[in-house]
Amino acid sequence: MGFFQRFLHRKEKDRDLAEEIESHIAHERDANQARGLSDAEAQRQAQLKFGNPLVVRERVWHYRSVPWLEDLWRDVRFAWRSLRKTPGFTAVALLVIALGIGVNTAVFSVVNTVLLQPLPYPEPQSLVRMVQNFPQGSFDSTSVPELNMWLHQTAILNQIAAYDTGGAGINLTGGDHPQQIQGIHVTQNYFSLFGAQFIAGRAFTPEEDSPNGPHVVVLSYGLWKRRYGGDANIVGRTVQLDGEPYLIVGVVARNFVIDDPADLWVPYQFDLNTQDMAHYFGVAARLKPGISIEQANAQLKLASDQFRRAIPNAIGPQSNFAVMPLKQWMIGDTRTPLLILLSAVALVLLIACANVANLLLARASGRKREFATRAALGAGRWHVIRQLLAESLILSLSGSLLGLLLGYVGVRLLLAVNIGGLPRLGEDGSTVALDTRLLLFTLCISVITGILFGLAPAISALRTNLLGTLNESGSRSGTGSRSTSFRSILVVSEIALALVLVIGSTLLIRTYLKLQAVDPGFDQHNTLTLAMSMSGSRFQTSAPVAQIIHQGTEQLKSIPGVLDAAVANGLPLEGAFGMSFNVVGRPKGNGPFAGGASYYSVSSSFFHTLKIPLLRGRNFTEHDDASSPGVIIINQAMAKQFWPNSDPLKDRIQKAPGSPAGSPFSESPRQVVGIVGDTRDQGLNQNPAPTMYIPLAQMPDGETALNSRVVPLWWIVRTASNPNTFVTPITEALRQSSSGLPVAHIRTMDEIHSLTTSRQRFNMLLLTIFGASGLLLAAIGVYGLMAYSVEQRTQELGIRMALGAQASDIRNMVLGQGMLLTLIGVAIGIGSAFWLTRFLASFLFAVKTWDPIAFILTPLLLAAVALIATLIPALRATHVDPMTALRSE
């Protein structure tokens, strides 16, 4: 406390010191008078002996305080007063800084949430995802035999838990309003692995997770509050799930966060002795202490060989089991795009710094006489530089506070519009929040930018010629060619950086337009999709499912305005399951199977409803049911790849060959009866993959039972007009035809189409904002430089006009200077863009990184903007009055 008291009550302490000094001088004066000196001489001698009282007071205060801190406080107060005297300059500088720091804060807040924040689980660094590595990449879905094998890897793995990734949904029945909710099947270790806490009850026991175990359920905090009003006595009661009673054994705490939100959890109850190789769930584990990723993968490679010998053809000869950090798996392919966007937004900050540096240089040029006068009166150059740096730091810190607010509001608005499918952001970006890391980032870039754009005027002040500056007349002293050249370099840099950003945003805009123009292979308009979960014991065979599909289709077609309806186990553009196959009678080649393809089970009206063209053969009919021979339809991509020189309609396909007896996929070969057009099942930016379709009515019972817990069935309804106006009658018809089954995830195919391009739209929107910001800042920079140049050259322009120069000559001279800088910046920017845009290759679709349109139109746009920014001061220059200009000096 004593340290801080040294800086308090300075006025009172200084007044006391002044009185003490005055008493010393008075005592000496009295002594001089006693020696016979006159009053005036006695006073003069006393003051000469004591010295300058002000100097003494300053020296005493210097010893009593911390000098550098005192100087810093004085510099801050002076800088604040100086900035208050120029509100226009201060406001513009603050807005430029806020824009630069705001966009950086917005992007960094997303990067921080997705890439930097640790997972919200205990010891997240030891959590891994179990995968299977292929030469083409990784596969993260798992079968029960693989899970069983991993459970025995106790030397490297501490805990293992299996869980749904998505899931078919579960019907919460009982009561007047059945509801489809998100239920996740998990194994017993799931809650302990992810550190779930319970506000009531407990997790599953090993007995409850055993085959034929009891029906038990754990509720989420949200469902507990929403559906049951936070009933404290909920544990021990039963709920109806898919028409069967389940005992509630626990309620998880509110802070339990997972990437795929769930309403409740039920145990998987796996039979670990099965040979069923169906891949339909994910597995996470925790590494034992001291075990690295590399050590675990080396051990799992040995386990892969053992598994390959135990179950032949289960995994390929070039495949190996492995682990990857869970956070890396969750982030997926978003790291590189986010880092590129962060680099792009750094260019906006550099442009902002150059802009503010130009403003400060212009301001410093007008204050050179002030600096010279202060230096002549005893102020050191370092003191002047320190005060200029204080001004720039005040600007940057104040701008950063405004930028932090703008960035946070901006990212909330952006994420509410579209999060581009980014992981870990929560619903509408709910997990993006201000935290210490974000605040430190903003503080760091504030200080760095303050020093960056404050150095230029400080160095300029350091080089001031005191005598020359003081001898100059007028207020426009010291404009110097060196200062003008440096400001020109800054403007050229702004233009070059802005051009790189605008070219990048143009490439992404063209990518988005190209994606929008891609034919998905079906008619997406006026089509409504609804998910219906057919889980539970009622739908363990194909017959009741086929009956509901038939009844529902007929009832939907009876609704006025409904043109057609179909059902499938997946939707185009959202991906499909993969399935291996053999062609009967054809050699398999080097691999265990003839090939693999995407796989859909569909109702007979599927192709007609989505208007997928039949190219050869026939469509499915109502007669393709369980009593008929098995049939299959393939798409054109599959026909071209596997039948390049033969007719697939003459062949039969064995789906999932080698499936053991009792496997869900074990069935007889199917005859190829038709070839349909390709659809973009993996997204608009992916080429159509080989795809095969089978009738839902011909699905094996085991596969129907598996699908009932893995995926929902999707109703696809084509209407004569806007499908959203048919939601109520369609949902009511489906409830009636299915004896009360609810539907969920109601979307139009247009919405699904839009969601498919959300990542590209997100990237395009961000980089377009950055490009527009850079373009605006570059225009401000050009305008500021040329306006300042015209102001400083008022006398010169007046002399030129007095000697006969025409207004057009003056205008063209100013325009020529501005456009020369613009052309230099454009040339540098084009060269830089050719090199930098190659990093955008992974963002682009059907657009080259050297796209001619982007590299021709964008420079023309920037040149046009620069021309307008230069034209304003050029026209102002033509209105200079020669007599007024000559009298101004």
Our CA dihedral for 838, 843, 847, 850, rounded to 10 degrees, sits at -20
Query: Are residue 311 and residue 364 in the same domain, yes or no?
Result: no
Please give the helix or strand (H or E) that residue 287 lies within, else none: strand 282-287
Rounded to an integer, what distance in angstroms lies between the CA atom of residue 102 and that of residue 95?
10
Question: Do 268 and 338 belong to one domain?
Answer: no
Residues 711 and 809 in one domain: no
3-state secondary structure of 265: strand
How is residue 29 written in tokens? Answer: 């004066």
For 653, the enclosing helix (H) or strand (E) is: strand 652-655
Q: How far is CA 567 from the centre of its chain?
A: 35
Q: Between the ranges 244-253, 432-441, 459-468, 788-797, where is the mean pLDDT highest?
A: 244-253
Burial bucket for residue 585 (CB in 10 Å: 0-12, 13-18, 19+) = exposed
C-alpha 345 chain-centroid distance: 13
Instruction: Kindly report, residue by residue over 14-26, the tens digit of the pLDDT.
Output: 677 777 888 888 8
Tell me the pLDDT of the chain averaged across its residues.
Answer: 86
What is the rounded CA–CA span in Å between residue 490 and residue 492?
A: 5
Are 557 and 656 within one domain? yes
pLDDT the model gives residue 127: 97
637 lies in the same domain as 731: yes
Last residue of a domain, one of 317, 350, 366: 317
Same domain, 402 and 434: yes
Coil, strand or helix: which one is 159?
Answer: strand
Q: For position 172, what pLDDT does the model report? A: 92
Instruction: Please state the separation of Cα 182 from the chain's center in Å.
Output: 26
What pLDDT score was predicted for residue 1?
A: 45
Is position 746 within any domain?
no
DSSP summary character for residue 430:
T
Answer whether residue 63 shows pLDDT above 70: no
- Both 500 and 574 in one domain: the answer is no
**Alpha carbon distances (Å) from 266 to 183, 254, 749:** 7, 18, 31
Domain termination site, one of 65, 90, 115: 65
Q: Which residue has the tokens 């004593």?
A: 2
pLDDT at 68: 53
Q: What's the pLDDT band for 84 if we cut at 50, 70, 90? A: confident
The pLDDT value recorded for residue 474 is: 45
Q: What span, in angstroms and rounded, lies between the C-alpha atoms of 608 and 622?
A: 13
Residues 308 and 339 in one domain: no
* Contact criterion met (CB below 8 Å) for 628 and 720: no
**Per-residue tokens: 184:** 């996740």
Same domain, 510 and 544: no
Q: Is position 131 within any domain?
A: no
> Do 790 and 737 have their domain in common?
no
737 and 814 inside one domain: no
325 assigned to some structural domain = no
Indicate whether 763 belongs to any domain.
yes
pLDDT of residue 419: 67
Least confident of 684-688, 835-839, 879-883: 879-883
The CA angle 192-194-199, to the nearest 5 degrees, is 70
- At residue 127, the 3 state secondary structure works out as strand
* Domain boundary pick from 741, 766, 793: 741
Within-domain flag for 113: no
Give me the pLDDT at residue 573, please: 92
pTM over 0.75: yes
Are 383 and 491 found together in one domain?
Answer: yes
Residue 610: the pLDDT is: 97
> Is a pLDDT exceeding 70 seen at residue 473?
no
| φ, ψ for residue 602, nearest 5 deg | -135, 160
CB 176 within 8 A of CB 751: no
352: Cα separation from own chain's centroid: 23
b/e burial code for range 110-147 (CB count within 10 A of at least 16 → b): bbbbbbebebebeebebbbbbbbbeeeeeebbbbbbbb
pLDDT reported for residue 678: 97
Tell me the average pLDDT across 800-828.
90
Give the pLDDT confidence score for residue 224 in this predicted structure: 96
Average pLDDT, integer, range 238-259: 92
The answer to whether position 324 is within a domain reads no
Top-confidence residue, 161 or 357: 161
Q: State the Cα–Cα distance between residues 364 and 792, nearest whole angstrom.
A: 13
Query: In this predicted structure, what is the pLDDT of residue 463?
Result: 59
- The pLDDT tens digits of the residues spanning 126-154 come to 999 999 998 777 888 899 999 999 999 99
Looking at residue 883, its pLDDT comes to: 72
Give Cβ neighbours of residue 293 (< 8 Å, ≥ 6 apart).
Answer: 128, 287, 323, 324, 325
Tokens of 79: 């800088």
CA distance 579 to 165: 18
> What pLDDT, in 10s, does the model give residues 545-593?
999 999 999 999 999 999 999 999 999 999 888 888 999 998 876 667 7
Model confidence at 643: pLDDT above 80: yes
Residue 741 pLDDT exceeds 60: yes
Residue 438 has pLDDT above 50, yes or no: yes
Q: What is the pLDDT of residue 51?
A: 76
Does residue 199 form part of some domain? Answer: yes
- Domains: count for the chain: 4
Residue 400, in any domain of the structure:
yes
Neighbours of 692 (CB within 10 A): 21
Predicted confidence band of residue 677 (pLDDT cuts 50, 70, 90): very high
pLDDT of residue 576: 85
Domain that holds residue 227: 136-317
State mean pLDDT over 434-438. 80
AA letter at 106: A
